[in-house]
Structure 1
Amino acid sequence: MFTEVADRVWVARHAWFDVNVSLVGGEAGLVLVDTHASGLAARAVVDDVRRLGRGEVVAVVNTHEHFDHTFGNATVREAWPAVALHAHEEAAARTLEAGERVKARYAEGEDPHREEVLATEVLAAERTFSSATTLDLGDRFVELVHPGRGHTSGDLVVRVPDADLVLAGDLVEESTVAGGPGFGEDCWPLEWPHSLDIVLGLLTSTSTVVPGHGAPVDRDFVEEQRNAIGVVAQTVRDLAARGVPASQALEATTWPYPAEHLVHAVNRGYAHLSRGEKRLPMV
């Protein structure tokens, strides 16, 4: 069920992954931002859009390539055959591969969503950009901005200037705040703080920010999360400069998030350090 959070911007918060699917409306139609985690789940999204009765979907935007944001693409294309699928070029290039990896994991498990994930057709965006682009909805513009790498290499945020709102994807997460944002096996922890600096530059003191997961937040929340991620990045650099190996880093100091949540952040952070940031010996 979609709830209006700003002028002609609606968000549906789904229990599965606590993921947000959003709509931006204009005279030319609707932009659907992220499409949920399976074809079956996306059919419910399509029904909710039609129930809302505010127009036809003319464009889909994937905030990044992860399956909980892209696996509904084909279902939305079936409902609105002329819909254009947009994503950052890195995300689009990785969508099919990321989808196959997820399907392989679900095939080996007993997750209750196993069958619907395996049955989903994976469809990547075909309209891509490298830095920024704009969608024209007639009476308003919607900006797509790649602020840099963070949660993935292909993150984008959706800015609706006249509504003072940003749909931040998984660069910002509210529902996992106790355990931290999503430091996955494809994250860029050393660059994430700088990407959030760009996002903060798009916000005003009164902006509404819709995270990829969880409830809408304000600029202060984004700044606090940016600072915590910044501590993770700086701690990795400091430990590496002292010669602490990655295998000992989680136990070597305190972290702003639970250590078990930071395995990929530390491993990826160490891997992305330049030669000059590492002190020998390290293993």
Structure 2
Amino acid sequence: MSEEAVTTDPVVHVEGVQEPARDLVVIPDRRVQLVPNIGVIGGHDAVLVVETGLGPGNAEKVLEFAADYAKGRRIYLTTTHFHPEHAFGAQVFAGEATFLLNRDQAEDLKVKGPGYLEMFKGLGKPVERRLQGVEPARPDVVYDRAYDLDLGGRVVQLRATGRAHTRGDQVVRVPDADVLFAGDLVEAGQFAIFPWFPPYDTDVSGTRWIAVMERLAAQAPRIVVPGHGEVGGAGLLADVRDYLRLLRDETWVRRDSAVDERTIVEEISALMIERHPEWVGREWIEKGVGCLCSEHAEHAEHPEHAE
């Protein structure tokens, strides 16, 4: 997601899938903007699809791939959060798969989905075409904080993390393979995406995101599937945790000195680009600073609640 115009077609290619663990495949994003990494996790009796791709056309390809992979097994669908490239193809799965979401994400999809649909249509003609015919999908199963899905000989753990990148973030754990699908809580080779669009959307929380990343990094899964970018290991979690901590600390020390927000953005952008010159998505640094500046006031009043 970016405020800049998207000129490439955000198309999902189901060829060249990766198999980081037994009966578990990742359809890679191929570093195409607004294409997520998509997972298909198998058990004896069923498969779980993680993410749909942007719009009905992409979702149809994902469903076709999943049905072929399932070979008669039941199909489930879940999404890591409600943003369009992750969830705005779910309608295609209706009648073909059981759609599971945590309660906060289901609410995000219902309440904020229409606004995001219109916003994303304005990102460029390729995106607008992909989003034609999108209708909000309603989950078949809604859980509060935790749901264990038995695929037959393999239990997959769906866990709501609480507010971070969005209000309804979810991670998907496959314990027997030690794999974590992290959604946009984690990107590989990219600055953290802060959907900070006041006054329209201010649900992202830098301080809570740090707390989530500290918990996830402590678990040190063998394989981490980020929302975007190359599949990696636990180092991806540590990278995001450390970046967010530094972003907070550098923002707040300047805020404590009454530096104006424009100067903070300029200084921290330069610092972060120097630290990570190879990372893409530099426009998200400013959004992160804006979010953390807003949280600085809360921290100053209630430092014990900052994280």
Q: TM-score, normalised by structure 2?
A: 0.80
1:140, distance to aligned residue in structure 2 (A): 1.4
2:272 alignment counterpart: 256
* Corresponding residue to 2:193 among 173, 182, 190: 182
1:241, distance to aligned residue in structure 2 (A): 1.8
| Residue identity matched to 1:47 | E
2:177 alignment counterpart: 163
Contact 1:237 1:277 in 2 (8 A): no
* Corresponding residue to 1:199 among 213, 216, 220: 216
Q: Which moved more, 1:1-10 or 1:118-127?
A: 118-127
Q: Deviations over 1:72-124 (max 9, x none)?
A: 1110124x1xx322222221101134332233234446422313303111214
- CA pair 128-273 structure 1, distance change in 2 beyond 3 A: farther
1:53, distance to aligned residue in structure 2 (A): 4.5
Q: Map of 1:81-100 to 2, 5 A cutoff?
A: 83-100=97-114
Structure 1 spans left out of the alignment, 5+ residues: 279-283
Structure 2: distance between partners of 1:264 and 1:160: 32
1:141 alignment counterpart: 155
* Corresponding residue to 1:130 among 144, 153, 156: 144
- CA pair 128-244 structure 1, distance change in 2 beyond 3 A: farther
1:238 alignment counterpart: 253
Contact 1:170 1:213 in 2 (8 A): yes
| Residue identity matched to 1:256 | M
Q: TM-score, normalised by structure 1?
A: 0.86
* Corresponding residue to 2:294 among 267, 271, 274: 271
Q: Secondary structure at the match of 1:24?
A: strand
Q: Deviations over 1:209-259 (max 9, x none)?
A: 111112211112221221011111222222222222334321244542586
| Residue identity matched to 1:267 | G
Structure 2: distance between partners of 1:126 and 1:93: 13
2:164 alignment counterpart: 150
- CA pair 275-136 structure 1, distance change in 2 beyond 3 A: closer
| Residue identity matched to 1:218 | G
Structure 2 spans left out of the alignment, 5+ residues: 1-13, 197-202, 274-280, 302-307
Runs of 4+ with deviation above 6 angstroms: none
Paired-residue identity, %: 23
Q: Secondary structure at the match of 2:59?
A: helix
Structure 2: distance between partners of 1:26 and 1:96: 30
What root-mean-square deviation, in Å, do the aligned CA atoms of Structure 1 and Structure 2 show? 2.3
Structure 1: distance between partners of 2:234 and 2:73: 31
Structure 2: distance between partners of 1:109 and 1:212: 19
